[in-house]
Amino acid sequence: MVAAYVIARPPASRLTDGYQVIHIYPHDSQAFTQGLIYLDGHLYESTGLEGRSSIRMVDLSTGQVLQKYDLQPEYFGEGLTDWGSSLIQLTWKTHTGIVFDRFSFSPVRTFRYEGEGWGLTRDKTQLIMSDRTSYLRFLDPKSFKETRRLRVSDETGHPVEKLNELEYVHGEVYANIWQTDEIVQISPRTGKALGWIDLSGLIDRRELSPDAVLNGIAYDSIGDRLFVTGKLWPKLFEIKITPHR
């Protein structure tokens, strides 16, 4: 299904990028999406809620779950990324990350971190993690030790709070702001907001529960495609950013 052209509505205080919906795909409306990546032709998704958390491999075109691993009931699944032959998942308040074999979904090891785990992505040399605050944490992908923290600030120098789901796109960190329809584009070198994407109007809110907020950003680097969805959303969107810059 190809949707009509849509322009995001910018807040009065700042300019925002617009977007065009390229394609709409089905998405599991029972998936409490916390992390999303695109890898080797499939989506990989982390879902949350205690007793319902999982990692899964999903067929993009149909939304069908092809492979799934259910977390132990005490874990609330959060951000997800890949590293080599592994998938790495954060959990919310249990201070625990889980490393899985990407092909079998078998747990390989766990690691510990302070505070809450929210979003997770990577560049070529390090993992990048959010924890609800205005800070990004950078982790060594082998030891999982934190190597630095970076405060994210807007155009006026104020901190950007509630950084959640993350994706690394064209050298920038895209971060969904929790409970909003905004994605902030962040310099991983300076922490400054380089731009904003307002996805208001992307989905009809009458279809959704109050908990069904935007959360889920995946990037296909080979096809240069950007995908977004939300918690409990019945749809996943391929979009093209139309920059004002």
Residue 52 burial (10 A CB sphere; 0-12, 13-18, 19+): middle
pLDDT value for 80: 98
For 204-209, the CB contacts below 8 A with 24+ separation are: 207/234, 208/232, 208/233
Place 206 in a pLDDT band, splitting at 50, 70 and 90: confident
pTM of structure? 0.91
Give the per-residue pLDDT at 245. Answer: 55
Q: Give dist(CA 11, CA 82) in Å, integer.
A: 34
How many CB atoms are located within 10 Å of the residue 185 CB?
Answer: 20
Say if residue 30's pLDDT is above 80: yes
Report pLDDT digits (tens) over 135-155. Answer: 999 999 999 999 999 999 999
Mean pLDDT in the chain?
Answer: 92
Q: pLDDT tens digits for 33-60?
A: 999 999 999 999 999 998 999 999 999 9
Residue 206: phi and psi, rounded to 5, are -70, -15
Residues 6 or more apart whose Cβ sits within 8 Å of residue 36? 43, 44, 45, 46, 80, 165, 167, 216, 217, 218, 227, 229
**What does the pLDDT read at residue 210?**
87
pLDDT band at 14; cut points 50, 70, 90: low
pLDDT at 167: 98
Q: pLDDT tens digit string along 94-136?
A: 999 999 999 999 999 999 999 999 999 999 999 999 999 999 9
Residues making up the chain, counted from first to last: 245
pLDDT-based confidence at 17, cuts 50/70/90?
Answer: confident
Which pLDDT band, with edges at 50, 70 and 90, does 16 fall under? confident
**Above pLDDT 70, what percent of the chain?**
93
Give me the mean pLDDT over the 191-195 stretch. 95
Q: Per residue in 67-85, pLDDT tens?
A: 999 999 999 999 999 999 9
CATH 2.40.50.140 assigned to 5-242: no
User: pLDDT at position 1, please?
Assistant: 36
